Amino acid sequence: MSAIDVHSLGVTIDGAVLLSEVTLSLEVGRWYTVIGPNGAGKTTLVETVAGVRAPSTGSVLIEGHDVHALKERDRARLVALVPQHPVIPAGMDVWDYVILGRTPHHGLLRGGSASDDALVDDVLARVGLTRLAHRDVTTLSGGERQRAVWARALVQSTRVVVLDEPTTGMDVRHQTEMLELLRREVDDCGLTVLATLHDLTLAGQFADDLILLEGGRVRETGLARDVVRSPALSAAYGTELRVVDVDGADVVVPVVTRVSERAVTSST
């Protein structure tokens, strides 16, 4: 059984087609990253897969369950969502925020168990937030805050995690650290991850597979190293892209005409 099966998915809002005929089958224990130009439908796709946006046509199955036919609590036991702009309650420390991820398992009115507490402690250690466990979440740096959001998703204990631009607002070092954390969870715990990323180099280096969207449709899927070299990538972004090997890593760069060359061209 696949971890995620998307069948002929379509999303139309106020007459605008955001997704059309999207069909995907995502294997257990792999990291899939959705790429594509602005407006391609990346966020719409991951939100619909996570069940927070209803499809107009088609269906999404996670571990064989139709996510849009489930109650919210049941869905939250199957898939965890890390949104691009999470709502962080004021006055809540990191530990209390992270343990909210256990709510689907015991409800809001009953407190967590000793095993819940131990899980939170373990996850905070894994993401490097133990020393900040009793800091107000709103006082954290952008990178630390994203770690807290990621920790909350991990304690939700789902086998599928969906992330929308998990490195938004981070500098290069914190982006790399966040993606390394994610990669480790995929490799060590067998998570299935569906994420979106704008940075094509990071997407190609960390994900197992890439899904290229353009105009709400899937234009290319496959191993990351194949998709970043595909002619479809430049076509989708509307600019020439080149892959450069840097110490064995693929770096995707746009081919930009030099200013001096543009000046010469315009004067002739």
pLDDT at 1 over 80: no
DSSP three-state, residue 41: coil
In angstroms, rounded to a whole number, what is the distance separating the alpha carbons of residues 170 and 57? Answer: 36
Residue 96 corresponds to which tokens in the numbers above?
A: 């209390």
Query: Which residues of 172-233 form beta strands (DSSP E)?
Result: 192-196, 209-214, 217-223
In the chain, CATH 3.40.50.300 covers 1-77+159-233
Name the phi and psi angles at 121, rounded to 5: -60, -40
pTM exceeds 0.95 for this model: no
Exposed (0-12), middle (13-18) or buried (19+): which is 255, by Cβ within 10 Å?
exposed
54-80 pLDDT, tens digit per residue, is: 999 999 999 999 999 999 999 999 999
CATH number of 1-77+159-233: 3.40.50.300
216-268 pLDDT, tens digit per residue, is: 999 999 999 999 999 999 999 999 999 998 988 889 999 887 655 555 555 55
